[in-house]
């Protein structure tokens, strides 16, 4: 897989336009920009596989092996941190997460990965993971009156994914591979926050778009229930689902296919 060299021009456009717009959004008696910090934790079942060749040679890897089940990974956790700058109807959001894919299991039959052979029954230890970050711009559109509290916010931006595959076998075999891709992303948020209520509901979805030869698809959806405890603090619970699929353009490609969910997430939103 080739290293990332050219960033989609949309990233520069998003940052430039948003920086230009935020200061102009100040209204009388209001701050121009507010900021939000959003730490989070998600957990749930996980399944899938890594397919890691060496130099794109077919004989250097087994098809769709090893599976997460072979690595003893059936449940996982994901930590995250979001940073948002908001002004009037505009916002810029940076969201970073790391999905832990660590565990111990046994090979269910002989397989090859990155040119290393792993025999049937070999004890496997994984220290793998998937890191994602997304920088998106959103514009909030009120649906009805402010009292009803419905808002629709289309989003556009860029998503980066770093996948790390590291597995050790008790027979001495070892694989260690990581790669990063950047692709455009589109999303939408539907928010219900009635003016007279401390409760808040958010339905969100985000997906990546194919960019050049980068066959990377990340789907992230969630339904969030939150409650404001003060003007500056909100706590929330979320039901969600994520899917990661990546395949490069080698003769025999690096490929990963990971499903994470349904997940239960918890987090806070601190505004200042």
Residue 3, domain member (yes or no): no
Residue 159, domain member (yes or no): yes
Identify whether the C-beta of residue 183 lies closer than 8 Å to the C-beta of residue 159: yes
What does the pLDDT read at residue 214?
65
Residue 17, domain member (yes or no): no
CATH number of the structural domain spanning residue 115: 2.40.128.100
- Token pair of 267 as six digits: 């987090």
Q: How many CB atoms lie within 10 A of CB 69?
A: 15
Residue 200, domain member (yes or no): yes
CA neighbor of 181 nearest in space, from 131, 113, 135: 131
Residue 213, domain member (yes or no): yes
The pTM of the whole model exceeds 0.95: no
User: How many structural domains does the chain have?
Assistant: 1
- Token pair of 197 as six digits: 């209520």
Domain containing 115: what range?
Answer: 34-271
d(CA 205, CA 243): 12
Q: Half-sphere exposure of 69 toward its Cβ, with a 13 Å CA cutoff?
A: 6
Q: What is the pLDDT along the chain (272 residues), one digit of tens a residue?
A: 444 444 455 555 555 555 555 555 544 445 589 999 999 999 999 999 999 999 888 889 999 999 999 999 999 999 999 999 999 999 999 999 999 999 999 999 999 999 999 999 999 999 999 999 999 999 999 997 766 789 999 999 999 999 999 999 998 889 999 988 889 999 999 999 988 889 999 999 999 987 666 688 999 999 999 999 998 999 999 999 999 999 888 888 889 999 999 999 999 999 99
Residue 95, domain member (yes or no): yes
Residue 75, domain member (yes or no): yes
Residue 44, domain member (yes or no): yes
């Amino acid at each position: 897989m080739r290293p990332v060299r050219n960033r989609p021009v949309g990233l520069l456009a998003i940052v430039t336009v948003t920086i230009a717009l935020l200061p102009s959004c100040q209204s009388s008696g209001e701050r121009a920009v507010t900021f939000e910090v959003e730490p989070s934790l998600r957990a749930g079942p996980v399944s899938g596989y890594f397919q890691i060749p060496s130099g794109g040679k077919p004989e250097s890897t087994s098809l769709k092996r090893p599976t997460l089940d072979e690595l003893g990974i059936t449940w996982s956790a994901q930590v995250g941190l979001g940073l948002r700058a908001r002004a009037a109807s505009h916002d810029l959001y940076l969201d970073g997460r790391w999905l832990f894919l660590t565990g111990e299991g046994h090979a269910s039959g002989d397989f090859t990965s990155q040119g290393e052979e792993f025999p049937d029954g070999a004890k496997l230890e994984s220290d793998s993971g998937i890191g994602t970050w997304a920088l998106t711009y959103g514009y909030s559109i009120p649906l009805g009156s402010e009292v009803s509290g419905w808002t629709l916010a289309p989003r556009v931006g860029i998503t980066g994914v770093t996948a790390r595959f590291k597995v050790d076998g008790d027979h001495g075999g070892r694989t260690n591979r990581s790669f990063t891709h950047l692709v455009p992303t589109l999303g939408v948020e539907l928010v219900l926050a009635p003016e007279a209520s401390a409760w808040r509901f958010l339905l969100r979805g985000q997906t990546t778009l194919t960019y050049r030869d980068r066959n990377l698809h990340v789907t992230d959806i969630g339904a969030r229930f939150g409650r404001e405890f003060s003007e500056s603090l909100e706590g929330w619970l979320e039901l969600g689902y994520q899917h990661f699929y990546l395949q490069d353009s080698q003769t025999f490609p690096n490929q990963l296919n990971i499903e994470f969910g349904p997940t239960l997430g918890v987090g806070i939103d601190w505004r200042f």
